[in-house]
Structures are given as structure tokens and as C-alpha cells.
Amino acid sequence: MSKLLRGLITAGILVISSASANAGLIGDSIDTKDRFGTQTAIVGLGSETRTAYDVPFVSNFFDLSDDGFTLGLVNSSSSQWDWSVTNGDFWEVLGMDSVGDSSAVITSFSQVSGQSLHTFVTSFSDHSIRVDMGTPTFSVPSGEYVTFDFAFNFGATSVPEPATLSLLVFGLLGLTISRKKQRWDQI
């Protein structure tokens, strides 16, 4: 009986220890894209990108985490700067592959702060998110910056690892053989 108990405890520990890690982006290599081009960065090393616009002292930045990102619009120039639909302003993050779970895909994406200043149009696919202007123009006064926060979720289909299944099968087979041997020895 003690062998059976030890076997069950060992099998339980193996099954628990083989649980998949949480999906996350920290350490992932991503591409950020706006109307001026694409830049590659590693998530978790500070702001992932800073893009200068076609006028001095105007830029934007992305800061990603495991479940969201901040878009910052910076105007260090001496006059007001307008981000606009007519300029083709948009921001996109491509190649968002979960480090902890390769089967994870983005299941939702939305703006969570800054709606009183500007509401963006958001869209997503399995491994990318996109922010579009929505309304024609958004202005940032001289010497100021604004940030907008967005949230996304990863979801995955839980697929048992082959090693876990084989351990379970061999464990059950061992229990069956052990039971039959005990019965055989009693005869």
C-alpha cells in the first residue's frame, strides 16, 4: 500500500510541475510600426520605440508589458502639433508572440485611459495590435506630452504535453500490473 501511495504522490507532483507557464511578452522581440516605418525592439527593456516625426522635437513612444501598452505622444517643439487621420497617423505592434506559451493568441484589445482626450480605433489579430486615429485630429500643445493606456489579453488552448500523458499512462499501467501481481501472489 505504501508503494501505491508513493506512486500516486510522485505522479501528482509530475503533473502539477508540468503545468504551462503564463503567457507573456517580456523578452519577446516585436516590431513597432507607424507612418514613418518599422522598428524592432525587445519587450521589457524600457520604452520599446521612440520615433521622431518630420519636425524636430516631436515624437511618440511605446512601452509594452505582459498585458498592455502605453502610447505616448510628445511635443517638445515651440508650437502645437497635430496628429491626424489625413497625415496617416497610426501605431501598430507586430510579432507579439507569448514567451511562456507559444500557442497563445491575442483575444482582446482596447483603450483603457485617455478617452476624455481622444478615443482611438483599436483592432487586433492573433499576434498584432493596431491603434488608428479615429477622429480627424488630436493636438498636443507646445512643450507637453500625453499618454494613452491600452490593454490586451492572451488566450490559449490548453494542450497537454506528450510527456505528461505518457507519464500518466505508464503510471496507470504500473498500478494495474502491481494490482494483478498482488492478486497472483495471493493465489
Same domain, 117 and 170: no
Share of the chain above pLDDT 70, in %: 74
Q: Whole-prediction pTM value?
A: 0.66
- Regarding whether 139 and 61 lie in a shared domain, the answer is yes
Residue 3 burial (C-beta neighbours within 10 Å; 0-12, 13-18, 19+) = exposed
Instruction: Please give the pLDDT value at position 17.
Output: 47
Residue 7 has pLDDT above 80, yes or no: no
Q: Please, which residues have CB within 8 angstroms of residue 150's CB and are 6 or more apart in sequence?
A: 68, 69, 70, 71, 109, 110, 111, 112, 122, 129, 131
**Average pLDDT, integer, range 78-89:** 81
State how many domains the chain has.
Answer: 2
Same domain, 92 and 12: no
CATH number of 77's domain = 2.60.40
Tell me, yes or no, whether 174 and 127 share the same domain: no
Domain span at 136: 29-155
118 lies in the same domain as 181: no
